[in-house]
Amino acid sequence: MTYAMYSWALVLDDDPFVQKTLSRMLLKLDVRDVVTCGNAELALATIIDSGNSPDLVLFDLNMPEMDGIEFVRGLVERQYSGGLIIISGEDERVLNAAAILAREHRLTLLGQLVKPVSSSTLRKLLEKWVPKSVEEHQPISRIYSPQELQQAIQTGELVNFYQPIVAVSSGQCVGVETLVRWRHPRDGLVMPNNFIGVAEEHGLIDELTHAVLRGVFTQIAEWERSLIHLRVAINVSMINLVSLSFPDIVAHLAKDAGVAPRRIKLEVTETQLLEDLRAPLDVLVRLRLKGFRLSIDDFGTGHSSLAQLRDIPFDQIKIDRGFVHRAWADNTVRAIYDASLNLSRQLGFEAVAEGVEDRADWDFVRKTGCDLAQGYFISRPMPGEQLAQWLSAWESGVRQELMTSTKGA
């Protein structure tokens, strides 16, 4: 295996010994050229700003002048798009915090190297380098105007994607989650985190959610014609739930489409703090009375709270992917996952593990007996018309393969 795709790497560490060891290892692993530097400010000013930015940056978290966190911020400002590896002697939690920061900024973090660094760990990290997929590729922090978004909603540029949700015990696909995307004429497929906030802040979220709902019911009717009967989850904003007519709107759409309310699950995250919970509570209870199911999304992140669990008649908890992916490898993450799952069981809810990204995550959720799982390992979100094909591939092989027991367990 060769890593010539890294034509050059920058090692940023104030310790000359680490600089030397890492350069030697990188060159041995076929990285074409390595530059070392002991000062983050200098690295940003002379190297990254030179217009010939490195393909890979390995940097120390703890440096005397500008520290690693400030350096990450500098990279974000410069829209650095190469790979990143954090080197550190710090404890695991500090490393994790830095890793989360880098990922939140959509930097391509390949992983962490704990000192003393080993060549085999470094090689494994380099192997993880994959070019960003179309789905993940985003123009960095583009801000859309409310006018532009409103026009997009009205002209039908928003489209629904659907991500399968499977039963952990049998592997059977039991439902899908609806995830909205914007097919932007210039920017390509734009992800919801880039425009849901705009819709919420500028009074467009009701219009957006209605467009999503209409799309869902049309899609369900099409699936029914192909004999696909699934439960469908839809994300709703807290702001939608202030409008007292919301339950009637959803109920009418469901009735017109001939879809039983119990097949529809509304996922709620507390995205904006509402001072007055009376209206949302009223709406949620009425939705529940009409037979719709309610799910609390991103559980564990603080967007969703224990108080909501007490106050709102939920049926399901979705454990946020931050507490699922790699929970098997990290005691802190694992503790939060276990606590969420236990809470869900004690309250008689169904639990969904979000963000099952690889085989190890899948084996972990199976072992812990979570009810449902969702994540890239099972499938990425896809347009509705691709679901039939995915289902038949899943049923004709993948599912059996995933239900075989863990290697070595």
Cβ pair 366, 168 in contact under 8 A:
yes
Q: Which residues of 91-117 are buried (b: 16+ CB within 10 A; e: fewer)?
A: eeebbbebbebbeebbbbbbbbbeeeb
Residue 405 carries which DSSP code? Answer: P
Let me know: does 394 contact 173? Beta carbons within 8 Å: yes
For Mg ion, the closer CB: 6 or 181: 181
- Name residues contacting ligand C2E, limited to 282-341 (CB under 6 A): 297-298, 321
CB of 297 to ligand C2E, least distance (A): 5
State the minimum distance, in angstroms, from the CB of residue 354 to Mg ion.
Answer: 5
Residues 132-191 that bind ligand C2E (CB under 6 A): 163, 179-180, 191
Footprint on residues 252-281 left by Mg ion (CB under 5 A)? 267
Positions in 78-137 near ligand C2E (CB under 6 A): none
Tell the burial category of 32 from Cβ atoms under 10 Å away from its Cβ (0-12, 13-18, 19+): middle
- The DSSP secondary structure of 125-137, one letter per residue, reads HHHT--PPPTTT-
Token pair belonging to 120: 């085999």
Residue 212 contact, options ligand C2E, Mg ion, none, Cβ 5-8 Å cut-off depending on partner type = ligand C2E
C-beta neighbour count of 191 within 10 angstroms: 17
Shortest distance, position 68 Cβ to ligand C2E, whole Å: 23
Alpha helices in 290-352 (DSSP H): 306-311, 331-346
Which residues inside 207-226 make contact with ligand C2E, applying CB under 6 A? 209, 212
Positions in 326-365 near Mg ion (CB under 5 A): 354
| CB-based closest residue to ligand C2E | 375
Q: How far is the CB of 377 from ligand C2E (least distance, A)?
A: 6
Q: Give the residue with the Cβ less far from Mg ion, 87 or 319.
A: 319
Give 273's DSSP letter.
-
Residues 292-321 that bind Mg ion (CB under 5 A): 297-298
How far is the CA of 85 from the CAs of 96, 157, 272, 392, 408, in angstroms? Answer: 12, 38, 34, 39, 30
- Residue 131 beta carbon to ligand C2E: minimum distance, rounded to whole angstroms: 16
- Residue 75 as a binder of ligand C2E (CB under 6 A): the answer is no
Backbone angles phi, psi at 302, to 5 degrees: 95, -15
CB closer to ligand C2E out of 60 and 298: 298
Distance, in Å, from the CA atom of 63 to the CA atom of 74, rounded to the nearest integer, reads 15
Among residues 235, 237, 316, 340, which is the contact residue for Mg ion, using CB under 5 A? 235
Q: Is 235 in the site for ligand C2E (CB under 6 A)?
A: yes
Q: Is 379 in the site for ligand C2E (CB under 6 A)?
A: no
Interface residue list for ligand C2E (CB under 6 A): 163, 179-180, 191-193, 196, 209, 212, 235-237, 267, 269, 297-298, 321, 354-357, 374-376, 381
Interface residue list for Mg ion (CB under 5 A): 235, 267, 297-298, 354
